[in-house]
Structure 1
Amino acid sequence: GRPVSPAGTVRYHRDSPTEQRDAVTAWSAVRTLRPASVGSHSWDYKLPTSGALQSSWVESGADQGWYVKGMAASLDDYQVETPHAADGENDKRSLGQARMKRHDYEAKCFHGEGSVRDLCVGENFTLAGHPEIDTHPLDQRHFTVTALTVAALNNLPKALAARVERLFARNRWLRDGADGWLQREMGEQISTGPVRMHIHFTAVRRDTHIVPAYDPRVDLPQPKLQSAIVVGPQGEEVHCDELGRVKIRFPGTRAKDHAHASGTGASDSDIDSAWVRVASNWAGNGPGSRQQCGTIGLPRVGTEVLVDFLGGDPDRPVVVGQLYNAQGKPAALSSAAGLPDTRHLSGIKSREVRGGRANQLRFDDTPGEISAQLSSDHGRSELNLGFLTEPRSGLHNTRRGQGAELRSDHAVAVRGAEGVLITASSGGGAKGQMLERDELLRLAEGLQKMAEDLSNLAVQVASDEPCGPALKELVQKLKDLHDSGSPVVALSGPAGVAIGSTKNVAMAAATDIDFLSAQTTNLYAGSTASVRAAKGASILANEGGVKVTAAAGKVTVQALDDQMDLVAQKVLEIISNTDWINLKAKHGVRINGGGTELELSAAGIKGYTSGNHHMHAADHQTFPAQKKPLPFPAAKPRHKICVPCLLIAASAHSPFALPK
């Protein structure tokens, strides 16, 4: 408990030189309107959704009087404190109770004057003889001194007293302001009054809690922005926890000042600080990390960072930015030069951990030569957009081209589950549809109509089978590409399409391949051109005829398993310009013209005619029988090819082997 003053019970009485005991000569009660409740909120980033656990609320137990009580109830002292100001819910409640007790302490006090020399701050005394105080129960007549001002007049000679007062003034022992005014007033009282000592004191009832005032704006130091260096374990370039927090060291810390803590705070390792949060320009609100949004760019070990303090609390540091310095210079976004030559470049560049390769997103805002680049040093993979130049070393560089470029020393894939359109058409620019393909659609529909007409002609004049629905279905998928989406690849070049390779070029389809042109289709081969079909082959020319020419070498036309028909609407000519024409048949040859027939066979020569038989010859002789043997090509082996099996294998992407 509080100690009892040697003054014990003090009288409320007049004071004069004839009195035997000291007395209190003036007494007044003072009430101050204080809030009837206190509340607080302290943010805890580890419990961001638990608002109740971050707040506290305490009501007053003091009686401020019947008139003031209603007004006090309408006042609430609510403070937004520094983050994590309390260590748990109980500690938060205790801090709130302490704030409420301070308000209760300030709600009522007593001021007194007199000549009691034995009073000291912090000691209890009992007041007696006061007409109002004596009406209270005994336990409410005990008071504790909380402030005390004493004025005493020494009995030195006047000349010496004046010198002492000047000495006090030069040492500024006499206060200015209200306290100085009180001292002067008390000095006048004792210099003109009956006694040479006077006190002024403030007191509260003994059962009132004396709680110190606390205002974070005054009582907490206000640290300014500080530079710090990110630290981590030996050999670790990026060191963080699951919240992306890092460890830091303030450069001004000295190892000798931290020797008692094994160097913690000045060791350039991960023991130099607690985990410190890192501010981001975008930190999302998603639950967990996999459903989160935002940006992350953790400062690496050795990086200079700018540190601020939440609520001005030095125990609540937060990294608010990263700084370049003479060692950690700004990242070069060009392989040819750095700042200030590349001052028109901006972007993001990362670096391989414990390596020298990088990834970067670079924007070039050079007047008239703007571009953007997304690149990785792995495989020199780049996506370049805009005005393309060599790596920039100044304000103007050699132009490489303009538009868009995707390149890599490794593989490149373009995938679209609902279709891929590759076109050299502008497509209406930024206002056009993403899959703008009107020009290609008009061409495809026209060529499809042409293919149907030629197919119908082949059915009529050559008894060919009609073309299947594959081409029509493909054109329909191309038309529906924007709405329904199909895994179709559409390739369009309004001025032409060139496909080439120094090796093989293969075109394959599990069903049909259609080659269509509105005018001429040419097939050229520097060596051999072959057309092979498992079922049948047909060539139809509506106009202009069909030519088969071998500029050198033999022309062979064979039907290995059936007959061969050569049909002409008019003259059929078989000509050998320099040699014989041999007509060979294993059983015989029949030549029929206009109903007259000549039959050549092993049985001899027979002639049939209903008309005249004229023979013009210089001589006519008959010799003995003689046979001319005929050489015939050997029969070639045949392979049975299962066409449905081929289609099934192609659709299933599996190999197909011919039967032995």
Structure 2
Amino acid sequence: MLPTGMGSQTARVVGFDGADDAGNNTAAGSDASGSTPALLGNDEICCDALGRVRIRFQWQDALDQTGSRASCWVRVAQRSAGGGMGSQFLPRIGQEVQVQFMEGDINRPVIVGALYFGQGEAGVPATPAGSLVDADTSALSQATDHSVSAQSNLTAGYAPAWHGAGVGADAHNNAAAQFGIRSQEYSGSGYNQLVFDDSDGAGRIQLKTTQSGTELNLGHLLHTADNYRGSFRGNGIELRTDAWGALRAGSGWLVSSYGVSHSASQRQTAGDVPAGYGLLNTANTLGATLSQLADSHLSVGIAALKGSSKANASYLNEQAAPIPALGKVLQGMVDSSEVDAAYGDAAAQNTQADDQHLPHHTDPVISVIAKNDLSMTARQDVQFNTGETLNVLNAADSQFTTGGVFRVHSGQAIGLTAGGLKQNTTAGMQLIAAQGDTTIQAHNDMISLKAKNNLDMKSAQASIDFAAATNITLRTAGGASIKIAGGNITVQCPGKILVQAGQKGFTGGTSLSREMNTWPSVKCDEEFVLKLPSGKLAANRKFEITRADGTKIKGVSDAQGKTGLQKGLVIEQLAIKILPKNA
């Protein structure tokens, strides 16, 4: 008759030699069953390839025939088991487990569960039968948002990570509403855990690892310290880590502050994007109006609405410019009845809307949609890099403010158009430098200044200078003109010339180049030092300078060979000749 084991018994998980101290186990090679044992995590787990462990029953003290107090390899029951699937929780050395016997055969033990044992801090101590004693709960009140308390054992054993202490901060604010799964780092204090909290009106889930402080918190957010439920931190979702993070979605990503119905009786689609499309469509309409306005005023249109590298084309859609192409992406619809049909609609970029279809991006784009404000702040740099167009469309005002230098560089054209939508406005376009110069230059082409009404140029404290390499012409629609070209000034008019002055004087001919040398201040000036071919200074020698307009200016150098300043409005080429002494 086989020995029987009725009911269930408790036992300790042990190592090879039967010791329940993880630090005192030594591998002994293959046993009689042929299993090759393994020691893991500084001998904290002793198991074979089948996930079996050894145990020692509470009544098992004497050494067996092999000189060990350990049992045979014992199977561990799991909640699910299958080929390449299931759950796996192996009890570690020193843990107490519950054992049952297959068909009552004591030689066929199976571990069916694990048990906490010992007396935890603030727990009720063991007393003789019939005696009453209160637990010492003073340790519970020592917990804070960032420090634990009452999680150790007053006697040997293991206490649970979560236990019902009571209501109030002095009782961990925990009425036994927390439960979950926690693992333990081998030979360390780190852990991984999944916590469910069913506290009244404060439900939450936490998925956490102490590795780099990485965790996902859902629902009621609060500070926790093991069993202690601390102060309120917020409500919603928090994904955090002390290391780096990445979010990847191969088919697109939607980030939206527009709420959708998500109750037990009604739930809207997860990919709901009509609000985003509505905002984009409004911006599209405004942009199209302003682009047409720019075209009508001979300015630069909006490439995102007309096409950048090719008309009415974009990288996203060969048949539409960037913004219309993005609008089509947000109009995507897929079948809501069958998955295969939905994938087909997505591949075909379907935009047909009806009761049998739900919103879906037609291309893998990232949409960030804010119902109210959207804020993005960086302590250092913010960079926007695109392969095609960068568009900022706003139905109201836009401001660009910088405390340093504001630079705009373009590989092609820069177009600025203002006042097209609001008539009779006094704002127009303003370009003001509170300090320093304002410089407008065209290095390879012309500058054109045009106005429907007056063109007003004033200098409050200095002068207005006009200079040209060939000629300057002032002309009116009536036919009168003044032309300054070379060394000549030509005055023409179909009517009369009226000269009004207190004194009139006509002297000999001169030139602008010669007269500029008498001006107190000009943009360009240069002094030259004359030297002979031998390198010796040409002191007190006659010279002749030929300016760019042909004016010849003669003079005598000083004792250092200097010619004196030559002044001009622009940089020009000139020639200097040292004259013979008898010239």
TM-score, with structure 1 as normaliser: 0.57
Q: CA deviation at 1:455?
A: 1.6
CA distance in 2, matches of 1:333, 1:512: 58
CA distance in 1, matches of 2:98, 2:493: 118
Choose from 484, 492, 511 the match for 1:600. Answer: 484
CA distance in 2, matches of 1:429, 1:254: 60
TM-score, with structure 2 as normaliser: 0.65
In structure 1, the partner of 2:385 is 508
Q: CA deviation at 1:231?
A: 2.0
Q: CA deviation at 1:357?
A: 0.6
CA distance in 1, matches of 2:106, 2:499: 132
CA distance in 1, matches of 2:572, 2:95: 86
In structure 1, the partner of 2:282 is 446
Q: CA deviation at 1:537?
A: 0.8
Q: CA deviation at 1:623?
A: 2.6
Choose from 76, 84, 99 the match for 1:278. Answer: 76
CA distance in 1, matches of 2:407, 2:464: 27
Letter in 1 for 2:507: F
From the CA coordinates, give the structure whose radius of gyration is larger: 1
* Identity percentage of aligned residues: 28
Q: Is this contact kept in 2: 1:230–1:301, CA < 8 A?
A: yes
Choose from 104, 116, 138 the match for 1:312. Answer: 104
Letter in 1 for 2:385: A
Q: Is this contact kept in 1: 2:162–2:176, CA < 8 A?
A: no
In structure 2, relative to structure 1, the CA distance for the partners of 1:532 and 1:487 (3 Å cut) is: same
- Extract unaligned runs of 5+ from structure 2: 17-24, 26-41, 119-156, 308-320, 334-358, 514-567, 574-583
CA distance in 2, matches of 1:514, 1:581: 40
Aligned to 1:402, the other structure's residue is in SS state strand
Q: CA deviation at 1:407?
A: 1.3
CA distance in 2, matches of 1:443, 1:503: 30
Q: CA deviation at 1:342?
A: 6.2
In structure 2, the partner of 1:539 is 416
CA distance in 2, matches of 1:510, 1:315: 72
Answering whether residue 359 of structure 2 is matched by residue 561 of structure 1, we say no
Q: Is this contact kept in 2: 1:337–1:393, CA < 8 A?
A: no
Q: Is this contact kept in 2: 1:332–1:339, CA < 8 A?
A: no
Aligned to 1:421, the other structure's residue is in SS state strand
Q: Is this contact kept in 2: 1:418–1:487, CA < 8 A?
A: yes
In structure 2, relative to structure 1, the CA distance for the partners of 1:503 and 1:387 (3 Å cut) is: same
In structure 2, the partner of 1:406 is 239
- Extract unaligned runs of 5+ from structure 1: 1-213, 267-271, 636-660
In structure 2, relative to structure 1, the CA distance for the partners of 1:634 and 1:494 (3 Å cut) is: farther
Q: Is this contact kept in 2: 1:427–1:437, CA < 8 A?
A: no
CA distance in 1, matches of 2:361, 2:484: 69
CA distance in 1, matches of 2:272, 2:409: 38
CA distance in 2, matches of 1:337, 1:277: 43
Letter in 2 for 1:309: F
Q: Is this contact kept in 1: 2:183–2:192, CA < 8 A?
A: yes
Show CA shifts across 1:192-229 (max 9, x none). xxxxxxxxxxxxxxxxxxxxxx8xxxx65243311111
Aligned to 2:491, the other structure's residue is in SS state strand
Q: CA deviation at 1:315?
A: 1.6
Show CA shifts across 1:339-361 (max 9, x none). 89562211111111111111111
Q: How does 1:475-486 map to 2 (within 5 A)?
A: 475-480=327-332, 482-483=359-360, 485-486=362-363
In structure 2, relative to structure 1, the CA distance for the partners of 1:531 and 1:362 (3 Å cut) is: same
Q: Is this contact kept in 2: 1:333–1:360, CA < 8 A?
A: no
Aligned to 2:292, the other structure's residue is in SS state helix
Letter in 1 for 2:278: R
CA distance in 1, matches of 2:44, 2:76: 16
In structure 2, relative to structure 1, the CA distance for the partners of 1:499 and 1:566 (3 Å cut) is: same
CA RMSD of aligned residues (A): 2.6
CA distance in 2, matches of 1:407, 1:609: 81
In structure 2, relative to structure 1, the CA distance for the partners of 1:535 and 1:450 (3 Å cut) is: same
Deviates more, 1:424-433 or 1:586-595: 424-433
In structure 2, relative to structure 1, the CA distance for the partners of 1:366 and 1:382 (3 Å cut) is: same
Aligned to 1:477, the other structure's residue is in SS state helix
CA distance in 1, matches of 2:289, 2:511: 54
Which has a greater percent of helix?
Answer: 1
Q: CA deviation at 1:333?
A: 8.6
Q: Is this contact kept in 1: 2:172–2:227, CA < 8 A?
A: no
Structure of greater relative contact order (alpha carbons < 8 Å, 6+ residues apart) = 1
Deviates more, 1:539-548 or 1:300-309: 539-548
CA distance in 2, matches of 1:504, 1:558: 31
Q: CA deviation at 1:485?
A: 4.6
Aligned to 1:429, the other structure's residue is in SS state coil
Letter in 2 for 1:275: W
In structure 2, the partner of 1:232 is 15
CA distance in 1, matches of 2:113, 2:256: 45
CA distance in 2, matches of 1:572, 1:617: 26
CA distance in 2, matches of 1:251, 1:579: 107
Q: How does 1:64-463 map to 2 (within 5 A)?
A: 221-232=4-15, 234=25, 235-255=42-62, 257-258=63-64, 260-261=65-66, 263-264=67-68, 266=69, 272-283=70-81, 285=82, 287=83, 289=84, 292=85, 294-326=86-118, 327-332=157-162, 341=174, 343-391=176-224, 397-430=230-263, 431-462=267-298
Letter in 1 for 2:495: G
Q: CA deviation at 1:448?
A: 1.1
In structure 2, relative to structure 1, the CA distance for the partners of 1:530 and 1:396 (3 Å cut) is: same
In structure 1, the partner of 2:531 is none
CA distance in 2, matches of 1:464, 1:355: 66
CA distance in 2, matches of 1:393, 1:278: 28
Aligned to 1:471, the other structure's residue is in SS state helix
Answering whether residue 563 of structure 2 is matched by residue 625 of structure 1, we say no
CA distance in 1, matches of 2:282, 2:49: 61
Aligned to 2:284, the other structure's residue is in SS state helix
Q: CA deviation at 1:401?
A: 1.2
Letter in 2 for 1:454: L
CA distance in 1, matches of 2:172, 2:73: 34
In structure 2, relative to structure 1, the CA distance for the partners of 1:604 and 1:280 (3 Å cut) is: same
Aligned length: 402
In structure 1, the partner of 2:533 is none
